Amino acid sequence: MMSARRDDHCSYGLQMMPEFGFLIDMDGVVYRGDDPIPEAISFLEMIRDYPYLFLTNNSSTTPEAVLDRLVRLGVGHCGIENILTSAMATASYLHQMTPAFTYYAVGGPGLHAALSEYGTADEETPDYVVVGEGEGLDYHAVTMGITMLLRGRSKLIGTNPDVNLDGTYNGRPAVLPGCGALIAPFQVGSGMEPLFVGKPSQVMYQQGLNALGRKPGEVFMIGDRPETDIKGAAQIGIRTILVTTGRFNEMTPIRPLPRSRISS
């Protein structure tokens, strides 16, 4: 099993909970950098017949690229239907709020691909200025985005609030800027507060529950970030498992969530 610190609601054996499903973070939970976490791969094999969904805040890559990586790491039973990125969640949410929406996007290919499924790119007066991870942030993009926001029609959307994430740059391990950092110029320049869709937002968790066909109390969220993975899940009533293989470890201080915000 994964090395994990569990809340007191997670003391069940898998054989006793066939009705349960799993939401699973990826970086720091399934792998570290380019290396799989062996115990995690074994655990995923154990739950292959349970409803499960990989829930990642990284909006820069497409679900196809995510799937390819999982297969290379040894998760052979996964499909596109088992993946939800914050870019996918954002596109779905904007479509729900504004069918046939228009957008100006700043971020990686995963963001552009997800938004184009539901909306239409617009460099004049889009409904939304959407920022995610990945390359694309330059003087031109900031100027365009701020101008659109100050015209008063566009709303500022962030795929997630993470300020950084672990990854590689020029072939070397690096800490990459997350959406929470990349959206700052647009936020400061326009004076507009962004709406974030990814974890810990309830929006992404609700989409995950809908995909699994489960109620909050019937799902476990497995993650390595108390402030996003665990906090957001607990607030909606999802049971939580905090692993120590990623950003969080046994020496990391953590404040317990109020009991009233954790499901029984």
pTM of the model: 0.86
The type of residue at 86 is: S
Same domain, 105 and 177: yes
Q: Which of 154, 179, 196 is the last residue of a domain?
A: 196
Using an 8 Å Cβ cutoff, are 159 and 114 in contact?
A: no
Do 42 and 112 lie in one domain? The reply is no
**Residue among 164, 175, 169 nearest 225 (CA):** 164
Q: Tell which residue, 15, 81, 22, has the closest CA to residue 233.
A: 22
Q: What is the tally of structural domains in the chain? A: 2
Residue 18 pLDDT greater than 50, yes or no: yes
C-alpha dihedral (54, 55, 59, 64), degrees to nearest 10: 20
Q: Which helix (H) or strand (E) holds 18?
A: none
Q: Residue 29 maps to which CATH number?
A: 3.40.50.1000
What's the longest Cα–Cα distance across the chain? 57
- Is 145 found in the same domain as 122? yes
The last residue of a domain, from among 196, 212, 230: 196
Catalytic center residues:
25, 27
Q: Which domain holds residue 245?
A: 4-57+200-261
Residue 183 lies in a domain: yes
User: CA-CA distances (angstroms) from residue 101 to 85, 113, 117, 118?
Assistant: 19, 14, 11, 7
For residue range 202-230, list pLDDT tens digits in order: 999 999 999 999 999 999 999 998 989 99
pLDDT band at 3 (very low <50, low <70, confident <90, very high): very low
Residue 71 maps to a domain: no
